[in-house]
């Protein structure tokens, strides 16, 4: 019997080895060495097959997450590959045992260019494996390796093949601390690689004029990181995968009312609700979600994904007319809400309008009260299974524009759009399970939904949801108790919190991610000096799920919105009359399925060729940093010259930083258009603004023709200026004052976030030019 079992075991080992040899073309010794790795880690090598035998000279750029990675590569890569190992990896006992399978040298990789052996090896058509540290935000020393390898590839004409071993960061031999990457006893590893490409092509992928070779290689490795994630999952499946990776018992959700929830408890609650939602609706039907930032909203969102339904996030601050219009545009028959929320937020008139429209409102309190013990037990047993399976490319979420062009448009995002954008963001900004995120941005806003909920839940970051961003006095107090390391916000909200916060309230923060509007220099400095944290400004739009670019600790430039995320293509088109900037188009796997419009309710209208016109005028420098010069619709044409209204706002902001300001364009019979400044300061005068423009070397056309003092500047629910409401108020005030007004030429943005502008670079006269940058809108 024992001999028979031994014979079966030997036959099994031989079969696995033979299959790997046929699949990868390895030597028999390498194939045998792969067998124990496959048995211990469930290693899947198929991702390496297309690129393993790339013709030399070739550099395999390996993202080294664990000490075991070199052993896997020694067994899987061609046996003539020269592996450049660090002492930390080379001394590992398994790596030592596998070193005989190939060639290896051990030395400081930062000095690799000085080693003639490597250059000679590549020039002779050889293969090289270089191991990069697993750092989303590498320090300066680590970044030298990117410069070195990029230069080495250019000198020798070598192609580069990025390689990673997915999930090896959860091995016991991981370089990541255990508190940041929970260890797994029997992880499922998978080799993943990107196609071979020379440095010239890698640079071209990011735009030759917008990047350096080192940055291009860094972006290529970031693309490797995000594409190695399982992107073909529904949102519910990705949530379940996160629960299994970081532990079902891990506390992941918290709010101010219901307390904390673990992954498993959240998923059980989602399973219970999903059964009910599936019973009351059709497959793929859109159900409205009218809820505040709270645990219940997150559980409801994932319940809809489990049920195979679409979550249509309703903006309860948009007014009854816009909410009803959104309901009709998406053909919603049912809206999910909470009586407690409606009562506390005083939204009964909105509820009446919804019901008068013939739309049913389902109260979650009633659903919870009717749940039986049997339903709870069933959900506890099947918490990881969706109620209805869905296609990752199918619609998952509908978000609505702010209705500034009449009826709101619905932006339809797929499961894959959001899963991809979360992975893209995680590949650029370093987060881990040791972090906790404090989100005050509403979930009906794309930034609040993807960045403020989906991203942390899919990557093990504890999430604290706060119901309203307008509680300027309470939020710092809550943050002081919650001790978050990351916070999301807009400039308006962040400045408001700082005014009421004690220096210790935000002391726990590592960084703040700011979006939705330009972040002022004063706000940046305030958070740096008082709270010791950086504000990382990003940029995006709902149509891109939403993040397109973001600053990071490694790549950060004040006055910019950062560099484009991996996997996003950019196209610039010149705009007549505007110098130093061009109109930006974006394309990528995070770009929406299409629009829902009021004229064709329920019908998704896709983009023609996958490219989305952002409507922003931008400048991209030689390192890829994006500076947003303004919305194409927020330029005033005065006497034939284009003037950025956002530049005017930032100029005035530099004079009176404690107040709010907004610049508008109004039709003018003599010059075509003129600028009107709405401001809350009582000190504003044209002469002082004129002197400032002269000091900064800016055009006199930026000086407003009229100044209108207001008690406050109206804002949208996302915290951005409500230019439509403001335009109406300003026009009415100008008429009352007897000013000649021929009509409005104000912009009506087509995205849920409004305007975002920065001025062109000014001719400096020894003072800092007032810069602005634009963020997720």
Low-confidence ranges of the chain (pLDDT < 70): 109-114, 402-406, 637, 639-642, 669-672, 717-719, 738-777
Q: Contact 702/648 with Cβ under 8 angstroms?
A: yes
Domain 632-736 has CATH 3.30.300.30: yes
Q: How far is CA 101 from the centre of its chain?
A: 41
Domain 235-627 has CATH 3.40.50.12780: yes
Q: What pLDDT score does 406 carry?
A: 57
Q: How many residues does the chain have?
A: 777
The DSSP code sequence of 283-343 is: TT-EEEEE--SSHHHHHHHHHHHHTT-EEEE--TTS-HHHHHHHHHHTT-SEEEE-HHHHH
Q: Are strands 582-587 and 569-574 parallel, antiparallel or unpaired?
A: antiparallel
CA angle 147, 151, 155 (to 5 degrees): 175
Q: What pLDDT score does 431 carry?
A: 95
Can you tell me the distance from the alpha carbon of 662 to that of 551, in angstroms, rounded to the nearest whole number? 26
Q: What pLDDT score does 167 carry?
A: 93
Q: Are strands 641-644 and 635-638 parallel, antiparallel or unpaired?
A: antiparallel
The CA-atom distances, in angstroms, between 664 and each of 111, 237, 631 are: 56, 46, 13
Q: How many CA atoms lie within 13 A of 175 on its CB side?
A: 17
Residues 6+ apart with CB under 8 A from 611: 571, 585, 586, 587
Q: What is the pLDDT of residues 625-679, one digit of tens each?
A: 999 887 777 777 675 566 778 778 878 888 888 888 888 888 776 666 788 889 9
Q: What pLDDT score does 250 carry?
A: 96
Phi, psi at residue 410, to the nearest 5°?
-95, 130
Q: Contact 323/351 with Cβ under 8 angstroms?
A: no
The DSSP code sequence of 498-555 is: HHH--TTTTTT-SEEEE-SSPPPHHHHHHIIIII--EEEEEEE-GGGSSEEEE--SSS
Q: What pLDDT score does 640 carry?
A: 56
pTM of the model: 0.85
Q: What pLDDT score does 365 carry?
A: 96
Closest CA to 367 of 334, 343, 338, 341: 338
Give me 372's structure tokens. 């039986």
């Amino acid at each position: 019997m024992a001999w028979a079992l031994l014979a079966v075991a030997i036959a099994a080992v031989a079969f696995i080895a033979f299959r790997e040899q046929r699949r990868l073309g390895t030597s028999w010794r390498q194939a045998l060495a792969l067998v124990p790795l496959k048995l211990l880690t469930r290693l899947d090598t198929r991702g390496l097959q297309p690129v393993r035998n790339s013709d030399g000279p070739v550099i395999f750029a390996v993202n080294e997450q664990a000490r075991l990675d070199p052993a896997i590569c020694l067994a899987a890569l061609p046996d003539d590959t020269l592996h450049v190992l660090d002492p930390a990896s080379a001394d590992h006992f398994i790596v030592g045992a596998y070193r005989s399978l190939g060639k290896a040298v051990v030395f400081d990789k930062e000095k690799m260019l000085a080693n003639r052996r490597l250059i000679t090896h590549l020039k002779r058509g050889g293969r090289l494996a270089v191991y990069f540290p697993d750092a989303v935000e590498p320090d300066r020393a680590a970044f030298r390796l990117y410069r070195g390898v990029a230069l080495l590839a250019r000198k020798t004409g070598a192609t580069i093949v990025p390689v990673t071993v997915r999930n090896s960061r959860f091995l016991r031999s991981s370089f990541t601390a255990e508190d940041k990457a929970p260890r797994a006893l029997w992880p499922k590893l998978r080799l993943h690689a990107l196609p071979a490409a020379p440095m010239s092509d890698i640079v071209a992928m990011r735009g030759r004029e917008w990047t350096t070779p080192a940055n291009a290689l860094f972006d290529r490795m970031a693309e490797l990181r995000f594409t190695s994630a399982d992107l073909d999952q529904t949102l519910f499946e990705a949530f379940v995968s996160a629960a299994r990776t970081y532990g079902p018992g891990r506390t992941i959700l918290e709010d101010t009312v219901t307390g904390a929830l673990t992954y498993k408890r959240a998923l059980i609650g989602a399973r219970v609700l999903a059964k009910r939602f599936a019973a009351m609706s059709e497959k793929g039907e859109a159900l409205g979600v009218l809820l505040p930032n709270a645990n219940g909203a997150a559980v409801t969102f994932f319940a809809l994904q489990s049920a195979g339904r679409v979550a249509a996030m309703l903006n309860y601050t948009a007014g009854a007319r816009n909410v009803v219009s959104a309901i009709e545009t998406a053909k919603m028959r049912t809206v999910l809400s909470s009586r407690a929320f409606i009562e506390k937020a005083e939204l009964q008139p909105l509820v009446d309008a919804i019901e008068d429209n013939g739309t049913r409102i389902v109260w979650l309190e009633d659903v919870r009260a009717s749940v039986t013990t049997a339903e709870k037990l069933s959900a506890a047993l099947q918490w990881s299974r969706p109620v209805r399976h869905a296609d990752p490319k199918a619609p998952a979420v509908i978000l609505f524009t702010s209705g500034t062009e009449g009826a709101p448009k619905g932006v339809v995002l797929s499961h894959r759009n959001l899963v991809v954008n979360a992975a893209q963001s995680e590949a650029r900004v370093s987060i881990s399970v040791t972090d906790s995120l404090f989100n005050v941005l509403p979930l009906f806003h794309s930034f609040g939904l993807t960045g403020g909920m989906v991203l942390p839940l899919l990557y093990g970051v504890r999430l604290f949801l706060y119901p309203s961003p307008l509680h300027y006095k309470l939020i710092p107090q809550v943050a002081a108790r919650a001790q978050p390391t990351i916070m999301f916000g807009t400039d308006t909200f962040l400045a408001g919190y700082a005014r009421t916060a004690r220096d210790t309230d935000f002391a726990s923060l590592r960084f703040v991610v700011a979006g939705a509007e330009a972040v002022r220099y004063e706000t940046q400095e305030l958070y740096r000096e008082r709270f010791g944290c950086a504000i990382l400004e990003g940029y995006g739009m709902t149509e891109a799920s939403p993040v397109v670019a973001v600053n990071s600790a490694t790549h950060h430039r004040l006055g910019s919105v950062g560099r484009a995320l991996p996997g996003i293509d950019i196209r610039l088109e010149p705009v007549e009359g505007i110098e130093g900037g061009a109109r930006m188009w974006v394309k990528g796997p995070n770009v929406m399925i299409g629009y829902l419009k009021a004229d064709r309710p329920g019908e998704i209208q896709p983009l023609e060729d996958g490219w989305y016109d952002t409507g922003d005028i931008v400048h991209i420098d030689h390192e890829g940093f994006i500076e947003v010069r303004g919305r194409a619709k927020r330029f005033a044409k005065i006497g034939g010259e284009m003037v950025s209204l956002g530049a005017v706002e930032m100029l005035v902001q530099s004079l009176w930083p404690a107040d709010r300001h907004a610049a508008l364009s109004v039709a003018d019979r003599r010059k075509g258009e003129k600028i009107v400044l709405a401001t809350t300061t009582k000190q504003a005068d044209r002469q002082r603004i004129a002197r400032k423009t002269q000091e900064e070397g800016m055009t006199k056309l930026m000086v407003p023709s009229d100044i209108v003092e207001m008690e406050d500047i109206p804002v949208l629910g996302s915290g951005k200026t409500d230019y439509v409401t403001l335009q109406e108020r300003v026009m009415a005030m100008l008429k009352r004052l007897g000013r000649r007004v021929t009509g409005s030429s104000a912009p009506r943005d087509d995205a849920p976030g409004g305007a975002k502008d920065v001025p062109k670079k000014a001719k400096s006269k020894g003072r800092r030019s007032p810069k602005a940058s634009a963020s997720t809108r």
